Amino acid sequence: MKKAGKGRILLLAVCVLAGCSPATIRRVEIETPAPPPPSPTPIYVPSKRLDTARLFNGIQIHSEVVTQKGETATVERQTPSSYVLNLEVKVNVPKPSTDLRQLQALNDQLPALLPGLEEMLATPKVSHFYDDFYRVKVESLQQNLVRLDQLLSRHHFYDCETILELEHPKTKRRALLIQAGMDVDTDGSDGDRIPDVDASSSTFQPTTSYHWAKKTSIPNPFLPAFEARLAQAEMDTATAERPQDLRAALLDLRAAVNQLKKRSFLVASVDPYIVLPGFMLSPAGSPFTPKLGDFCVVIYKNAFYPAIFGDVGPNDKLGEASLRLSRELDSRANANFRPVGELKVSYLVFPGSALTPAGPPELDKWSERCAALLNEIGGYKGELHAWADLTKPSPSPSPLPSPSATPGESPAVSPAPSITPAETAMPSAGTSPEPSRPKPSP
C-alpha cells in the first residue's frame, strides 16, 4: 500500500471505527486523492533593469543592471568578468555654422553691424581650430571617463558654435570669427597700477599670459604670500624622504616669484581682454594663428567692445573674457555668474595685430587700433565702446567762482567746518601725495 498522507490516515481510521467492510476501506484508500507534491525551489530568472538620471554637469545617464545565471559564488568571486561596470559616453560632435543665415539666428543685427561680412562669407572656410577644439574635448572625455565629476559639462562641451577664417578680398586683412558664449576670468595683478586686487575667486591666479616689464619699484601685492610659500616648500623639500616628488612644485613657485618680482600683468577687473585655449597658439606658422596681444573686437547685440587676446585658458573650453569686459555685457557678472550663457557673442580676433613691445594697456590707442582693423574688413555700423581708465583717479571738478561782493558790503565769510577726530586721523581719499602702497596678501 502506498504511503498515506495524514488526511487519508484519518479517513481510514474513521471507516474502521464505523465497522466498514474491508472492501469499502480498500476503495476509500484507492479513491482518496494524494496531496500535491511540495513546490520545488524557484528557478532564478535573469533580469535587466534600466534607469535614467542626470548628473550635476548636465550629462544624461542611462544605467542598467544586466544579470545572467552563473557558476557558484566561489567560482564567480575569482572571475574578473563576473562583476563588471562598463562606461560608455555617447556624444554628438556638433557641426560648425558656416553661413550668414546661421549666424544671424544668433544675432539678427550682425549683417548690419558688419557690412563686409556677407562678402567674406561667400566662400566660408571653417578653421582647423574648430575640428582641433572638439577633438581635444573628446580626448578630455576619454581621459576623465572614470571620474564622472571631472567630465566636461553639457554647457562647456557645446560652448562653441563655429570658428571661421575670414579674409577681406581687397585689403587681405585676416580675422578669426569665433561664435561662443562668455564666462568670466578674474586673474591678474599689477602693483604699478592696482595696489589692491580681489583674489576671492577659487580660480584666481595673480598672473596672466600677457605681461610686460615692471615700470616702478612698487612690489606686486601677492609677492609676500608667494615668497612665504616658496620658503615653506624649500623646507619641506629639504626634509622630505623623497624630495624629487616636490621638485616640480618647487620649480613652479620659484618661477612665479620671479615673475611677480619683475613683471606686471593685466588685471581682470580693470582691463578688457579675452581668453583663448592654449592649443590655438600653434601652429606658429599659420597666418590665422593668434598671438598674445593680438587685438580683438567683441560684438554683442549691437555693441562693439575693443579688447586684446590677454590670457591663455584650458584647451577644452572657449568663450571667456575679463571681469571688466563681462560686466559691460551684464553688470551682475562675477566669478560665479556668467554674463552670457547662450552662444550669442561674436569674437573677431585679428591675427598678427599685436603691438610690440608689450606694455601697460593704453585704452584709447586700443580703441583706435580696433576701429582701423574693423575698417579693413569692410567697416562697421555702430559705436565702438570707449573704455575709461579705472587705474587713474577721476579728474577733480573745477571749483566754482566766488561770488563778487557788492560795493559797501563785506564779503560773506563761511564758518570754518568742524573737524572730527576721525578726519584728523585719516586723510580723505585722493589727498595724499604719496602713491598707495599695496596691501599684503592674506
Name, in order, each residue with C-beta under 8 angstroms of 152's C-beta and a sequence gap of 6 or more: 57, 137, 140, 141, 316, 317
Question: pLDDT: is 190 or 7 the higher one?
Answer: 190
248 and 149 both lie in a single domain: no
Place of cell 568742524: 418
Task: Tell me, rounded to whole angstroms, the distance of Cα 37 from its chain centroid.
Answer: 69
Q: Is the pLDDT of residue 432 over 50?
A: no
Q: What is the mean pLDDT of residues 364-369?
A: 97
What pLDDT, on a 0 to 100 scale, did the predictor assign at position 40? 60
Name the more confident of 423 and 117.
117
Question: Residue 356: inside a domain, yes or no?
Answer: yes
- What total of structural domains would you count in the chain? 3
CA atoms of 256 and 230, how far apart (whole Å): 9
Residue 203 lies in a domain: no
Rounded Cα–Cα distance for residues 366 and 296 (Å): 9
**Residue 44 burial (CB count, 10 A):** 10
The whole-number pLDDT of residue 48 equals 57
CA separation for the pair 154, 378 (Å, rounded): 36
**In this structure, is residue 413 part of a structural domain?**
no
| R_g over Cα of the chain | 38
Expressed as residue numbers, the domain containing 17 is 1-37
Residue 237 pLDDT: 86
Q: Residue 36 — very low, low, confident or very high, per pLDDT cuts 50/70/90?
A: low
If asked whether residues 104 and 122 sit together in one domain, one would say yes
**CB contact set of 342 (below 8 Å; sequence gap of 6+):** 106, 181
**For the chain, what is the largest distance between any 2 Cα atoms, rounded to a whole number of angstroms?**
159
At 145, give phi and psi (nearest 5°).
Answer: -60, -35
Q: Is the pLDDT of residue 435 over 50?
A: no
User: Are residues 127 and 2 both part of a single domain?
Assistant: no
Question: Is-contact 310 266, C-beta < 8 A?
Answer: yes
Separation CA 408–CA 411 (nearest Å): 9
The pLDDT value given to residue 92: 95
Q: Are residues 359 and 309 in the same domain?
A: yes
- What DSSP element (H or E) covers 398? none
- φ, ψ at 12 (rounded to 5°): -65, -40
Q: Does pLDDT of 33 surpass 70?
A: no
**Residue 393: inside a domain:** no
The verdict on 168 and 229 lying in the same domain is no
pLDDT tens, residue by residue, 116-169: 999 999 988 999 999 999 999 999 999 988 888 888 999 999 999 999 999 999
The pLDDT score that the predictor gives to residue 281 is 95
What does the pLDDT look like over 256-288, one tens digit per residue? 999 999 999 999 999 999 999 999 998 878 899
Answer whether 271's CB lies under 8 Å from 210's CB: no
- pLDDT per position as a tens digit, 62-74: 888 889 999 999 9
- What's the whole-number average pLDDT of the chain? 84
Note whether residue 107 is domain-resident.
Answer: yes
Point out the domain boundary residue: 332, 359, 375: 375
Residue 73 in domain: no
Q: Is the dihedral of CA 381, 166, 324, 364 positive or negative?
A: negative
Contacts with 205 (C-beta within 8 Å, 6 or more apart), sequence order = 187, 188
pLDDT over threshold 60, residue 411: no
Residues 164-199: tens digit of each pLDDT = 999 999 999 999 999 999 999 999 999 999 999 999
Please, is 288 exposed, middle or buried when counting C-beta atoms within 10 Å of its C-beta (0-12, 13-18, 19+)? Answer: buried
| Residue 305, pLDDT above cutoff 80 | yes
Q: What is the pLDDT of residue 131?
A: 97
Residues 7, 32 contacting (CB under 8 angstroms): yes
Report the pLDDT averaged over residues 228-240: 90
Domain identity same for 309 and 218: no
C-alpha to C-alpha distances, 384 to 146, 270, 303, 352, 390, nearest whole angstrom: 47, 18, 7, 21, 18
Does 217 share its domain with 297?
A: no
CB neighbour list of residue 332: distance below 8 Å, 6 or more residues apart = 339
Residue whose C-alpha is closest to residue 319's, from 157, 173, 189 = 157
Residues 309 and 347 in one domain: yes
Contact status, residue 104 vs residue 346, Cβ threshold 8 Å: no
Asked if the model's pLDDT at residue 400 lies above 60, the reply is: no
What nine digits make up the cell of 439?
A: 596691501
Instruction: Verify that 183 and 304 share a domain, yes or no.
Output: yes
**Does residue 35 have a cis bond before it (omega within 30 degrees)?**
no
User: Are 293 and 177 in a shared domain?
Assistant: yes
Q: Identify whether residues 182 and 278 lie together within a single domain.
A: yes
The answer on pLDDT for 54 being more than 50 is yes
The predicted-structure confidence for 67-94, as pLDDT tens digits, reads as follows: 999 999 999 999 999 998 888 889 999 9
Instruction: Give the mean pLDDT of 342-355.
Output: 97
From 221, 244, 261, the end of a domain falls on: 261
Please give the pLDDT value at position 404.
Answer: 47
Residues 242 and 285 in one domain: no
Quick one: pLDDT at residue 241? 81
Distance CA 369, CA 357 (A): 15
Q: Name the residue with higher pLDDT: 28 or 381.
A: 381
pLDDT at 124: 87
User: Residue 144 corresponds to which amino acid?
Assistant: N
